Structure 1
Amino acid sequence: MTAPLVTILDDEAEIRQMLTEVLEEAGFRTQSFARAREFEAALNRVAPDVCLVDLSLPDTDGLALVHRLALERGAAVIIISGRAQVQDRVTGLELGADDYITKPFEPAEVVARIRARIRSSRPAQPAGNTAHFNGWTAHFDRYALEDDSGAETPFSHAEGEVLRLFLESPKRLISRQQMQESLGGAAGESFDRAMDVRISRLRTKLREDPKNPRLIKTIYGAGYIFLGDVRWG
């Protein structure tokens, strides 16, 4: 079985070298880049399992890049940044990142976070990559929601993880703790805010009434319930 591929985008040569050595020793394949242009060009040739992205890049806005990756690529995106403010972490997660690690960091933590993301992205999925519910079809192979007219709306990798969690457990309460355990990431304000944003975006894409959603119901103080009738395959 081919080892997972991790791409590293950071303009600091020392960090790229350190991450490359640590990750390859842990059994991953790696590719590293100092510029966003080279990184995005490489994504046309390879499909990484995880992208490590620094926000302070010399040739592009790191947050805008993270947002494009989340919407257009299937890889999990982990931000590695010296920006340690809560709002920076929240913004990164809101824009579609799957996790956020602040500098300076312990190399072992990066390895653990990557392994957690890969595990959550590769659960046993006997049902397949297509789910039908209430006039919608979710295509997890290309990250798109299709309505009954055939029109498609893209969703990010992070939004897809939340949607799959709902579709695999319809009409069952899913608590915040269960979401954190299933999706990975550190519990706390950043995770809760990120989940709120992802669920809000899913409701918008499913054309839900925000005041009275039919499919994704909030059970205040307890969690969420997905009320659709789901058929896989």
Structure 2
Amino acid sequence: MSTTTRTPELIYVVEDEAAIARLIADTLEKFGYRAELFRTAEAFFHGLRHRVPDLVVLDLGLPDMDGMAVLQQLRGKHTCGLLVVTGRSDTYDRVMGLEMGADDYVVKPFEPRELIARVRSILRRYPGQVVMPADPAQRVAEFAGWRFEPGSNTLINPAGQQETLSTAEAQLLSVLLAHPNHILTREQLLGGRDVSALDRSIDLRISRLRRRFEENPQHAKLIKTVYGAGYLLASTVTWS
């Protein structure tokens, strides 16, 4: 009988407060993850050049670079889990983080088990929710006359014109395309993250995607609102 041993996921902790960074790292290691600490954005980007982790725990208040700028650069180049940790009470920062591609957030101070729960939730959806062909060159979705290339976030309209989606929009479209003609709740579209009554990030992303397809939000034909349930992509999708 053969057995397999799980390789612990690698998590980068980008946090300039030593005590908090150590607490996060100790908590992660206690639950079986590998953690590497970075005190500055510069050190973090240097680490990324050597290896991309499974997940990044990112503090928005870094000493050498604004956390939002770090988030934007990370999402522009890499696909990995991203958990924002912030001491800021402003809801705007949290919504902006989600809009720019963060998977979830925790606010300081937080309970270690809350951190682990959110880490586990994010890691369950990586390296991705979308089942695509094994050959990367064939990962192209065709639907309702449109083409979408997830590898480059490229959306091509029926006339052949193309544009590049933001990471957040591309992630959302990928999930919709993976489950065509199925109602997806806001929680499912956020990958299982709990959705509060004030969290409108999915609704904002849906609205932006609809504008890409020139849909009237009140009479959308491609991305439909199923009131009280969620959203549905009304189209046949072919992966080639």
Is residue 102 of structure 2 the alignment partner of residue 102 of structure 1? no
Q: Where do 5+ consecutive residues of structure 2 fail to align?
A: 1-5, 134-138
**In the alignment, structure 1 residue 136 sits paired with structure 2 residue 150:** no
Shift of 1:64: 2.4
Q: Per-residue deviation at 1:102?
A: 0.3
Indicate which of 45, 48, 52 corresponds to 2:50: 45
1:178/1:61 Cα in 2 relative to 1: closer, same or farther (>3 Å)?
A: closer
What letter corresponds to residue 236 of structure 2 in structure 1? D
What is the rounded CA distance, in whole Å, between the counterparts of 2:15 and 2:213 in structure 1?
38
Normalized against structure 1, the TM-score is what? 0.84
Larger CA deviation: 107-116 vs 83-92: 83-92
The correspondence for 2:94, drawn from 89, 92, 98, is 89
Q: Secondary structure at the match of 2:57?
A: strand
TM-score (norm 2): 0.81
Q: Which has the larger radius of gyration?
A: 2
Which residue does the alignment assign to 1:145?
A: 154
Which amino acid counterpart does residue 153 of structure 2 have in structure 1?
A: A
Contact 1:166 1:226 in 2 (8 A): yes
CA distance in 1, matches of 2:195, 2:129: 24
Residue identity over aligned pairs, in percent, reads 36
C-alpha change, 1:121 and 1:134, in structure 2 (3 Å) is same
- Give the SS at the match of 1:7: strand
CA distance in 2, matches of 1:176, 1:139: 24
Q: Counterparts in 2 of 1:3-18, with a 5 A limit?
A: 3-18=8-23
Contact 1:121 1:161 (C-alpha < 8 Å) held by counterparts = no
Structure 2 CA distance for partners of 1:4 and 1:135, relative to 1, 3 Å: farther
**Equivalent in 216, 219, 236 of residue 229 of structure 1:** 236
Report the secondary structure of 2:124's partner residue: helix
Letter in 2 for 1:116: S
Displacement of 1:52 in angstroms is 0.9
Q: CA 1:202–1:3 in structure 2 vs 1: closer, same or farther (change >3 Å)?
A: farther
Letter in 2 for 1:120: R
CA distance in 2, matches of 1:108, 1:143: 36
Q: Which residue does 2:3 correspond to in 1?
A: none
**By how many angstroms is 1:154 displaced?**
4.2
Match of residue 59, structure 1, among 58, 64, 67: 64
Stretches of structure 1 that go unaligned for 5 or more consecutive residues are none
